[in-house]
Structures are given as C-alpha cells and as structure tokens.
Amino acid sequence: MRDPATPGALLDWYDRHARDLPWRVPPAARAAGIVPDPYRVWLSEIMLQQTTVAAVRKYFLEFTRRWPTVADLAAAPDEAVMAAWAGLGYYARARNLLKCARVVADQHGGQFPSDHATLLGLPGVGRYTAAAIAAIAFDQPATVVDGNVERVMARLFDEHTPLPQAKPVLTALAETLTPQQRPGDYAQAVMDLGATLCTPRNPACGLCPWRRSCAAWANGTAAELPRKAPKKRKPTRQGIVYLARRVDGAWLLERRPDSGLLGGMLGWPGTDWAEEPSADAPPIRAEWKTLPAEARHTFTHFHLRLTVKTALVPMDRTPARGGFVETGEFDREDLPTVMRKAFDLARPR
C-alpha cells in the first residue's frame, strides 16, 4: 500500500532544495517574515509563460533594474518596454504587461490586488497567473497548475488521459493537495519538483520526496506520463522583408500594428505572411537584390520562411512606408528575433 502524498513531505524537501531564483523569496527568508513583492511575482510569471527560466533570468534582472516598481513600469514609454522585451518572444505578453501595470497604477493605487477574482480582471492575467500571484505573493491557498505541476500530478496519480484533455482532471487532483498552511511555498515546491526531479525525460524518482506515494512509480509508468495527444503538423508561411539602407547608414524600419504577431515592435517593412507567396510590394523605390538565404523562424502555430531583399538608397528617396532610423539610434537588439535573423543575413561583413 502506498503512503499518502502530503504537502508536508514536499515542503520539507523544498526547504532544503528550493531553486535560487531572482524573483523568489527563499523559504528561510519567508519563514523569517520577508514577504514576496507582488510586482516581482507578477512580472516573473508573465515572462515565464511558454519560456524557460534560463531565458527569463536576464530579462527579469534588466526589467527590475530599469523599472523597480509597477509604477515605474506603468510610466515607461511603450517603445522602451517593447525594445527591452525583444528576443523573449510572444510579444502580446509585453503589450499586456504595460496595460496591466497601468491599470494597477491608475485603478489600484500601485498595489496589486490580493483576491483571485480581482486579479483575473487585470489585463493579461489568466487563471494560472492569478492563482500564482494569489498563492506566492499573498500566501492564499490557490492551486497553481503549470506544465510541471501537470506532469507531477499525472505521475503521482498515474493518470493516463492525454493532454490537453487531462487538464481539468489534473487541476482537480492538484486541488486535493493544496494546503492551507504555506500555500505559496507549496506552489513553488511542486513546480520545483517538476523542473528538477520529475522531469519530462529520465525522472530522478530515487530522490523524489513523493516516491512512495507515486502511483506511476509503483506501476512502472512514470516515464510515459503525461500522455499527450498527437500534435498537428505546423503549416509553413512565406513572406518578404525589405532591408533598405540609406547611403548615410540609416536603416528603413516600421513599427508593426499593435494587434497580431510582433505587435508594436520595430521591424523591417514586408509583405503579409501567408501559405502562398505574397505580391512583391517594396516600401521604397530602389534596385532590390534578393539574398540567396532565407530568414527562417518558428512561431507557436507555424513555421515562417522570409525572402530577404536589400537595397542601398540615396538621401533624397522618400519611403512609402516606415521611416529611416539613424545609425546611432539603431540597435539590433531592439528587433524581435525573426527580424534579427533577417538583419544578420543582410548586414555588411
């Protein structure tokens, strides 16, 4: 007979093995009365959506250096925040980040609300993020379920329903374990367990504090869980980007519409992205040369292949779209990743 899984066993493990993360208050410090900053909790959770801890760390440190409070972020220019976000991906998160910061600053006196329902009303805050803020920042017994937690629950209860259909089942199972005491530490403990021991491949079951409670370990099925429904094949879209450089070194750029992929970001003028090639529509009259290599990038739902065209234009040529950015004001790092790839193909060697 298996031992019942208890939050206490996991918390004892967490007290010894919690990851050192820049947005986290360690369990010993929390026990000493140091309270997490809801702003830092919220910022980290938004950044971590569909992104790894390793990728987020430097962005989080830079954001909190430049904008140490939610009021500072709310007052920041849109273009500065979008540029600082460049390379992190999923740019709708950056737009919602600003919207949320401004709502908190303007409507909540610069303080994040503590109740789950009000948190859900903030821009860009869904069920997971609201639960994470409520639990981690305010120590409320909210159930936090991310991919790590889903994996832990699927194995702990030997649940074979494939994802994403299993999400409601795994959430309900996670709710049965959420404690009234130290729910914030517990939420982080389950995520740490999934990230460090109960990993997708080769789980370290011998080190797991819940091993003797784990049905999948007992049944020898841990390595095959969680099950996932077959992925649909990603379509491939095509497009053209035009990299025009003026004879003084300035580059022709345009800001993309706020809605849609890469919304609000600076980028190269180009065509729509479609499964069939779009009509050639250069943003400025010039002798365009097509580079032999394509800029390729994969988004969540499709692969993208961009034909890169370059031209050198005289000082008196006026663009139909976008505007020239002087050499001293242009920074490759302000561009989203796919636009950097095009630039790297085109820039002078």
pLDDT digit string, tens, across residues 43-86 = 999 999 888 899 999 999 999 999 999 999 999 999 899 889 98
Is 226's pLDDT higher than 70?
yes
Is residue 179 assigned to a domain? Answer: yes
Is residue 1 assigned to a domain? Answer: no
Number of structural domains, the chain?
A: 2
Same domain, 211 and 242: no
Is residue 201 assigned to a domain? Answer: yes
H/E stretch holding 116 reads helix 116-120
pLDDT (tens digit, 9 = 90+) per residue, 242-295? 999 999 999 999 988 877 788 778 899 999 999 988 888 899 999 999 999 999
Residue 179 banded pLDDT, cuts 50, 70, 90: very high
Same domain, 247 and 329: yes
Answer left, alpha or beta for residue 245, where phi above 0 means left and psi between -120 and 50 means alpha.
Answer: beta
From 196, 224, 252, the end of a domain falls on 224
Are 180 and 11 spatial neighbours (Cβ–Cβ below 8 Å)? no
Is residue 62 assigned to a domain? Answer: yes
Residues with Cβ within 8 Å of residue 121, at least 6 apart in sequence: none
Same domain, 172 and 31: yes
Same domain, 24 and 57: yes
User: Active-site residue 45, yes or no?
Assistant: yes
User: In this predicted structure, what is the pLDDT of residue 222?
Assistant: 95
Is residue 2 assigned to a domain? Answer: no
From 224, 253, 273, the end of a domain falls on 224
User: Which range (237-241, 267-271, 281-285, 327-331) has the least confidence?
Assistant: 327-331
Same domain, 212 and 262: no
Are 123 and 103 spatial neighbours (Cβ–Cβ below 8 Å)? yes
Same domain, 200 and 286: no
Q: How far is CA 192 from CA 41, 64, 111, 151, 291, in A?
A: 15, 23, 28, 12, 46
Neighbour count for residue 246 (Cβ, 10 Å): 21
Q: What is the mean pLDDT of residues 300-329?
A: 93
Is residue 231 assigned to a domain? Answer: no
Is residue 244 assigned to a domain? Answer: yes
Q: What is the mean pLDDT of residues 295-308?
A: 93
User: In this predicted structure, what is the pLDDT of residue 349?
Assistant: 56
**The domain that contains 330 carries what CATH number?**
3.90.79.10
Are 27 and 15 spatial neighbours (Cβ–Cβ below 8 Å)? yes
Q: Is 293 helix (H, G, I), strand (E, B) or coil?
A: strand
pLDDT (tens digit, 9 = 90+) per residue, 100-127? 999 999 999 999 999 899 999 999 999 9
Residue 320 lies in domain: 236-346
How many angstroms separate the CA atoms of 66 and 84, rounded?
10
**The domain that contains 219 carries what CATH number?**
1.10.340.30
User: In this predicted structure, what is the pLDDT of residue 278?
Assistant: 80
**Locate tokens 């954001």: which residue?**
63
Q: How far is CA 161 from CA 12, 104, 170, in A?
A: 30, 39, 9
Q: How far is CA 78 from CA 81, 170, 189, in A?
A: 5, 38, 35
Say what percent of the chain tops pLDDT 70: 99
Nearest to residue 132, comparing CAs of 114, 144, 118?
Answer: 144
pLDDT (tens digit, 9 = 90+) per residue, 83-100? 899 888 778 888 999 999
Same domain, 269 and 342: yes
348 cis-preceded (ω within 30 degrees of 0) = no
Same domain, 319 and 243: yes
How many angstroms separate the CA atoms of 35 and 47, rounded?
21
How many angstroms separate the CA atoms of 10 and 239, rounded?
50
Are 112 and 119 spatial neighbours (Cβ–Cβ below 8 Å)? yes
Q: How far is CA 326 from CA 125, 211, 247, 248, 315, in A?
A: 37, 60, 11, 8, 12
Is residue 230 assigned to a domain? Answer: no
Q: How far is CA 278 from CA 174, 241, 274, in A?
A: 48, 11, 7
Are 250 and 287 spatial neighbours (Cβ–Cβ below 8 Å)? no
Same domain, 44 and 108: yes
User: In this predicted structure, what is the pLDDT of residue 204?
Assistant: 96
User: In this predicted structure, what is the pLDDT of residue 263?
Assistant: 79
User: In this predicted structure, what is the pLDDT of residue 50?
Assistant: 82
How many angstroms separate the CA atoms of 308 and 72, rounded?
38
Same domain, 82 and 138: yes
Taking the CA of residue 155 as centre, how many other CA atoms within 13 Å lie in the half-sphere pointing to its CB?
30
DSSP 280: P
User: In this predicted structure, what is the pLDDT of residue 131?
Assistant: 96
Same domain, 162 and 249: no
From 189, 224, 259, the end of a domain falls on 224
What are phi and psi for residue 306, nearest 5 degrees?
Answer: -110, 125
Neighbour count for residue 204 (Cβ, 10 Å): 11
Same domain, 173 and 251: no
Average pLDDT, the chain: 93
Is 328's pLDDT higher than 90?
no
User: In this predicted structure, what is the pLDDT of residue 280?
Assistant: 82
Q: Considering 45, 224, 276, 329, which one is annotated as catalytic?
A: 45
